[in-house]
Amino acid sequence: MFGKIRDSLRKTREALVERVSGIFSSSSEADDRTLESLEEALLAADVGVPTIQALLDHLPREARATGAGLSKALRERMMALWPPAPPAEGPPPRPWVHLLVGVNGTGKTTSIGKLAAQRTARGQKGLLAAGDTFRAAAVEQLQVWGERSGCEVIRQAAGADPAAVAFDAVQSAASRDLDFVLIDTAGRLQVKHNLMEELSKVHRVVSRALPGAPHQVTLVLDATTGQNGLSQARLFTEKVPLTDLILTKLDGTAKGGIALSVAAELHVPIRYVGVGEKVDDLVPFDPAEYVDGLLS
Ligand SMILES: Nc1nc2c(ncn2[C@@H]2O[C@H](COP(=O)(O)OP(=O)(O)O)[C@@H](O)[C@H]2O)c(=O)[nH]1
Ligand SMILES: [Mg+2]
């Protein structure tokens, strides 16, 4: 598992280093020119303007004051963006109900498949709820992941009410004393208002099936959509109480800097990152590996 985040940041890192060669080696001071290229490079990596300002304001002064190189000072600034890790919790409720939301194509269904496989590999048993009832293909895709991970898929006919599917799955898992339920949802943003209503309803109905549920509500965000993804995320945070985030497709993008913006501007922790399409390509997010992977 180790090193996957770093590997996935290769393009982002190379683009940064190419634009500001030298900065990540030993330079202890920087002239205006270097700072300008650093700013441009961070912008190209899709770190947004407010976050860049927070990272670079008075940075040379700090680097001088601490006697540290610019790269070291920058690394420290980046590390300070992340919220502290939450305290360890007691045993999770059964079943653990996990709702995944996000725009079409961001990787919800794939991430559910990966999460399901990881849980079954740990000996857990659970259900997948096919809450994207809009397209038959979406249900089929989840079915494939269900077979791969050894999880039953709860589904209804195309066009069924997603909240009803989620309700069935949670009730069934509770009565069978299973470990988890992963709920897939649709993401058609063309009908923004309807989507948000639909998600609120799923949330509400699930809490009726099992008090306290859903225990985890994850926004799935596609890293390749950069700052666009960030505005999507804002939309969701306003409507659904998110607990955390999965940042997918970090592999293959030079815009991996978006994670910094997410940390600095959304205040929702990134729990996992997607680094490929295969079943083990979902890894717990590690800020230190991320920052090191970006800078060196
Ligand atoms: N390279 C890469 N592709 C991914 C990742 N996560 C999902 N995908 C691909 O993105 C596409 C859309 O994923 P899907 O799960 O159907 O998105 P959904 O519409 O949100 O359910 C699929 O082709 C996935 O294989 C990732 O972390 N890396
Ligand atoms: Mg899907």
Residue 124 lies inside a defined structural domain of this protein: yes
* C-alpha 198 to ligand 2 mean position (Å): 15
Could you tell me if 134 and 167 lie in one domain? yes
Tell which atom from ligand 1 comes closest to the C-alpha of 281: 27
Could you tell me if 117 and 178 lie in one domain? yes
Query: What pTM, to 2 d.p., does this model score?
Result: 0.93
Quick one: tokens of 247? 């940042």
Residue 89 lies inside a defined structural domain of this protein: no
Pairing relationship of beta strands 282-284 and 270-274 according to DSSP bridges: antiparallel
Cβ atoms within 10 A of the Cβ of 59, count?
A: 17
- Predicted confidence pLDDT, tens digits, the chain (296 residues): 469 999 999 999 988 888 877 666 555 456 777 788 889 999 999 999 999 999 999 887 877 777 677 888 889 999 999 987 777 777 889 999 999 999 999 999 999 999 999 999 999 999 999 999 988 899 999 999 999 999 999 999 888 999 999 999 999 999 999 999 999 999 987 666 789 999 999 999 999 999 999 999 999 999 999 889 999 999 999 889 999 999 999 998 999 999 999 999 998 999 999 999 999 999 999 999 999 999 88
The ligand that comes nearest to the alpha carbon of residue 135 is: 2
Could you tell me if 112 and 49 lie in one domain? no
Residue 84 lies inside a defined structural domain of this protein: no
Whether the Cβ atoms of residue 69 and residue 28 lie closer than 8 Å to each other = yes
Q: What is the CATH number of the domain that holds 147?
A: 3.40.50.300
The ligand that comes nearest to the alpha carbon of residue 110 is: 1
Predicted local distance difference test score (pLDDT) of residue 288: 94
Could you tell me if 68 and 124 lie in one domain? no
* Residue nearest (by alpha carbon) to ligand 1 atom 1: 276
Could you tell me if 129 and 259 lie in one domain? yes
What kind and span of H or E run contains 219?
strand 216-222
Residue 220 lies inside a defined structural domain of this protein: yes
Could you tell me if 124 and 253 lie in one domain? yes
Predicted local distance difference test score (pLDDT) of residue 242: 94
Residue 231 lies inside a defined structural domain of this protein: yes
Report the C-alpha gap between 132 and 245 in whole angstroms: 19
Report the C-alpha gap between 253 and 242 in whole angstroms: 25
Could you tell me if 44 and 132 lie in one domain? no
Could you tell me if 284 and 186 lie in one domain? yes
Residue 71 lies inside a defined structural domain of this protein: yes
Report the C-alpha gap between 10 and 87 in whole angstroms: 32
Could you tell me if 140 and 236 lie in one domain? yes
Predicted local distance difference test score (pLDDT) of residue 67: 66
Tell which atom from ligand 1 comes closest to the C-alpha of 184: 21
Could you tell me if 110 and 54 lie in one domain? no
Q: Give, as one character, the DSSP assignment of residue 265.
A: I
Could you tell me if 74 and 213 lie in one domain? no
Predicted local distance difference test score (pLDDT) of residue 80: 93
Report the C-alpha gap between 32 and 139 in whole angstroms: 54
Amino acid in position 140: E
The pocket around ligand 1, CB under 6 angstroms, is made up of: 102, 104-110, 187, 220, 248-249, 251-252, 274-277, 281
Q: Which of 38, 54, 79 is the last residue of a domain?
A: 79
Residue 8 lies inside a defined structural domain of this protein: yes
Could you tell me if 223 and 254 lie in one domain? yes
The ligand that comes nearest to the alpha carbon of residue 8 is: 1
Q: What is the CATH number of the domain that holds 73?
A: 1.20.120.140
Residues 6 or more apart whose CB falls under 8 angstroms from that of 1 comprise: 280, 283
What range does the domain containing 39 cover? 4-79
Residues flanking ion ligand 2, Cβ below 5 Å: 108-109, 138
